[in-house]
Amino acid sequence: AQKVTQAQTEISVVEKEDVTLDCVYETRDTTYYLFWYKQPPSGELVFLIRRNSFDEQNEISGRYSWNFQKSTSSFNFTITASQVVDSAVYFCALVRRSGANSKLTFGKGITLSVRP
């Protein structure tokens, strides 16, 4: 069985602060993908990143960065210099890399509020 745990439920920061969203996962699969999605108040889930279980290199995209550590089964997401537009619910998710079962298993999400 697969499981994604996002222990933080709500985070509130002031604009320009850095913030890290934690994600811990459980899987018996040796190959899998990890994802982060953003769900702004409008409701539509927006894809942010997909990471292959074989690739533990950290990734940076603008103000966003991701730290994947297989040893601790964690895939954390950091927003640098947060902005009000970053306010949203952020979901971490997991999917098997092969086979017929390609459903996403989501965490419960972290509500991020960025105050001006």
Q: Which of 33, 7, 13 lies closest to 102 in space, CA to CA?
A: 33
Q: Which is nearer to other proteins, 44 or 85 (CB)?
A: 44
Give the chain's length: 116
Closest approach, Cβ 108 to other proteins, in A, equals 5
Q: Which residues bind other proteins (CB under 8 A)?
A: 4, 33, 35, 37, 42-47, 50, 91, 93, 95-109
Residue 109 CB, nearest approach to other proteins (Å): 5
17 versus 108: smaller Cβ distance to other proteins? 108
Least separation in angstroms between residue 37's CB and other proteins is 8
User: What is the DSSP annotation of 60-74?
Assistant: EETTEEEEEEGGGTE
> How far is the C-alpha of 49 from the C-alpha of 36, rounded, in Å?
5
Q: Which is nearer to other proteins, 1 or 85 (CB)?
A: 1
What DSSP state is assigned to residue 41?
T
